[in-house]
Amino acid sequence: METSEQDSVSFPQLNKPAPAFTARTTHGEKSLSDYQGRWLILFSHPADFTPVCTTEFMAFAKHHEEFLAEGADLLGLSIDSYFSHVAWVRNIKEKFGVEINFPIIEDLSMSVAKSYGMIHPGAADTSAVRATFIIDPNGILRAMVYYPMSNGRSIPEFLRVLKALKASDEHNIATPEGWQPGDQVIVPPPQDTEAADARMNEGYECTDWYFCKKSL
């Protein structure tokens, strides 16, 4: 079966430079380069003034200070206009008592959304799906997660992944399923037979030569 141009979606790649952008936002013009030296959580939503998106934005706002404490900024995006974004942010504050203090990209041209693979023709031709990208201080894409339009994200999970990525970078380790700060981490497995023979006597908590944990 041939794939039409409309059905073809270009996706960014993990551990490669995140697609550069410059865009109008509710906090003025923003570029990817503005976040150099800090982590960035870039996330898209299908549309302003929709119930699921409203719950997500309130959750991001609730955890905003925690992201900032980890050296990470939040940046939202949808295909809606700047004026729609402003009206929606004001509505959330008025109706729910929650202030959205992070910027939201106006992407009427869909240029940013397309460069990040946020437009999925199978879901909608002119709305961004729920995509989340974690970009490191060097502008490298480190994680990305896509959700369907019908289901909201769990914002604490992105905070958890951010902390796990930072721990891996700092200590050269991996983290197990559901890892939280304070839990044991996984030591990278040995790369040759000599190292494998020595592994069990290196002071780690080992189940076998390839599966060892330690505390940070």
d(CA 188, CA 173): 6
d(CA 181, CA 25): 33
Instruction: Show the low-confidence residues of the chain (pLDDT under 50).
Output: 1-6
Q: Of the residues 23, 53, 89, 167, which is catalytic? A: 53
In the prediction, which pLDDT does 3 show? 43
Q: Model confidence over 184-205: pLDDT tens digits? A: 999 999 999 999 889 989 999 9
Q: Model confidence over 30-62: pLDDT tens digits? A: 999 999 999 999 999 999 999 999 999 999 999
Give catalytic status of residue 212 as yes or no. Answer: no
Its pTM stands at 0.91
> Exposed, middle or buried, 150 (CB in 10 Å: 0-12/13-18/19+)?
exposed
